[in-house]
Structures are given as C-alpha cells and as structure tokens.
Amino acid sequence: QSLESELERVMGQFQETRSRMRHLARGRAERFRQVWIVNEEEAKALIREALDADRIIHLQQLGIPWEEPSLWFMDNVGPLGGRQEKRDAMQVAAQLLEGGI
C-alpha cells in the first residue's frame, strides 16, 4: 500500500510537472511569435523604404521604367513554415513510457 501511495504521489507530481512544462512552452512560443511579428513589421518598413528609393532612382536618375518586384513574403504575418506543432523530448519520452508510440 505504501508503494502504491508513493506511486500515485509521484505520478501526480509528474502530471503536474508536465502540465507546467506545456504551459511554459506555450507561453514561450507566444512570446517568440510576438517578437517575430514586431521584427517582421520593422523589416517590412525598411523593405518599403528601399523599394521607394529604388523606384525614385529608376524613374528620376536613370529615366527607365520601374516595376515592383514580386514580394510574396510581404503578405505573410508571423514565422514562415507550417503550423505543425513539434513535440519536445519530454512528450516523446512520456508517450514511449505509456506505450503510445
């Protein structure tokens, strides 16, 4: 009985720790995304300034027509790549121990 109660206590601690880790990971991911978006906005503003300068140079200094380049990434908001969530080592280990993989 003491071993069973000890096992229950340890499993409870494990579940609580895993829950805390997931919560922290979500918080860190959200902060990363927020910082990314701020930096992305600054980069896009600099790109727009460079494109304006390029347009002025083409039209006024060189006297040739200017075509805006295709910049697909200017429409993007947030980190590039899929929304596929990556599992951390603890999740993989827990699933292996539980026989879930």
Q: Which of these, 63, 41, 71, 75, lies nearest to 55 by C-alpha position?
A: 63
Residue 56, domain member (yes or no)? yes
pLDDT interval class at 69 (50, 70, 90): confident
Which residue segment(s) compose the domain that 46 sits in?
Answer: 1-69
Element (H, E) at 29: helix 2-56
Q: Which long-range contacts (CB under 8 A, 24 or more apart) does 14-18 make?
A: 18/90, 18/94
Residue 78, domain member (yes or no)? no
Residue 43, domain member (yes or no)? yes
Whether 75 shows a pLDDT value over 90: the answer reads no
Averaged pLDDT of the chain: 84
pLDDT in tens, 40-68: 999 999 999 999 999 999 999 889 999 98
Whether 83 shows a pLDDT value over 60: the answer reads no
Total number of domains constituting the chain: 1
Cβ atoms 73, 80 nearer than 8 A: yes
Q: Is the pTM of this model over 0.75?
A: no
